[in-house]
Amino acid sequence: MARRLGKKKQKRREEYMLKEQKKVGDVVTDERTLQNLRKLFSRGMVSEIEFLIATGKEADVYVAKSGEALKEQFVALKIFRIETSSFAKRIDYITGDPRFGKIKSDIYNIALTWCKKEYGNLKIAYDAGVAVPKPHGFVGNMLGMEFIGDEHGTPSKRLKDTELKDPEKVLTKILENVKRLNAVNLVHADLSEYNILMKDGEPYLIDMGQAVMLGHPKYRDFMERDIINILYHFRKKYGIEKDHEAVLKGMLG
């Protein structure tokens, strides 16, 4: 059972939390997002925001020091934007997913659904043995997950920026992960050399928000596109030739 803090300690803790929140002030300008950040601090998932490691159209990712609720030293904190984002252009990834019913069209609710969806996708994938960051939890438009990097807080490089010693082996591992996803009726739907991190020779699939379940009308199309993108990268950079139709057939059976 968590101990209650005295009023003085509680005040110092809240002041500290507000100080940490200022580090993400350039992105976090909405009061609802600030409230969600406070909840992550109070739940012990995050204790300190370190620095920005990735930025995108829908979200930014920060390295944060883990709170008392987690055993890891660092946690990756993904903050989905609720003011300026391109979620509206990607609504098909949600509306076609059988897990979600009718979604309100305002950006805030789309962002919250997207965050919940990425957490759910990561959990399904992680439980199935797919090499993805372990999801720790989410609050509103904020997702905490395993940090893929070293003990100093340096994030692992993307596949795009890595020179592989054994590209054949890495490609095989990536395709094995894609097959494991398909075995639990999930497809990444945006897989490329930009969405794979390399750590100790192992490829980790990231950015799982747009992943969809079997039953989505474009499930097979997304699967084929993922395979084409990965095979193109390895063909272009390493000269490895594989027929995407044969690989796709092996995935879908």
Q: What pLDDT shows up at residue 55? A: 84
Separation CA 119–CA 125 (nearest Å): 10
Within-domain flag for 60:
yes
Question: pLDDT at position 39, please?
Answer: 92
Task: Mark which of 146, 181, 209 sits at the end of a domain.
Answer: 146
Domain range for residue 217?
157-252
Same domain, 161 and 218: yes
- Same domain? 108 vs 180: no
pLDDT value at residue 101: 62
110 in the same domain as 172: no
Q: Is residue 10 part of a domain?
A: no
Domain CATH for 189 = 1.10.510.10
183's tokens: 């075995």
pLDDT value of residue 92 = 66
What residues contact 228, with CB distance under 8 A and at least 6 apart? 244
Domain final position from 114, 146, 178: 146
Of 111, 146, 181, which closes a domain?
A: 146
User: Distance (Å, rounded) from C-alpha 56 to C-alpha 80?
Assistant: 9
Each of the 253 residues of the chain gets a pLDDT tens digit; together they read 334 445 554 555 455 444 444 455 554 557 888 889 889 999 999 998 888 888 887 889 999 999 999 999 999 999 988 765 566 566 666 666 666 666 666 777 888 888 999 999 999 999 999 999 999 999 999 999 999 999 989 999 999 999 999 999 999 999 999 999 999 999 999 999 999 999 999 999 999 999 999 888 899 999 999 999 999 999 999 999 999 999 999 888 6
Give domain status of residue 18, yes or no: no
Residues 45 and 119 in one domain: yes
Residue matched to tokens 């709170």: 67
Show Cβ contacts of residue 115 under 8 Å, excluding neighbours closer than 6 positions: 78, 80, 138, 140, 141, 142, 143, 209
59 assigned to some structural domain: yes
Q: Which residues are catalytic?
A: 190, 207
Give the per-residue pLDDT at 81: 84
The structure's pTM equals 0.85
Spell out the long-range contacts of 135-140 with Cβ–Cβ below 8 A and sequence spacing 24 or more.
136/45, 136/70, 136/75, 137/43, 137/45, 139/36, 139/39, 139/40, 139/43, 140/32, 140/33, 140/35, 140/36, 140/39, 140/112, 140/115
Q: Do residues 100 and 177 share a domain? A: no
Please, is 140 exposed, middle or buried when counting C-beta atoms within 10 Å of its C-beta (0-12, 13-18, 19+)? buried
The tally of domains found in the chain comes to 2
* Residue 246 within a domain: yes
Q: Are residues 38 and 141 in the same domain?
A: yes
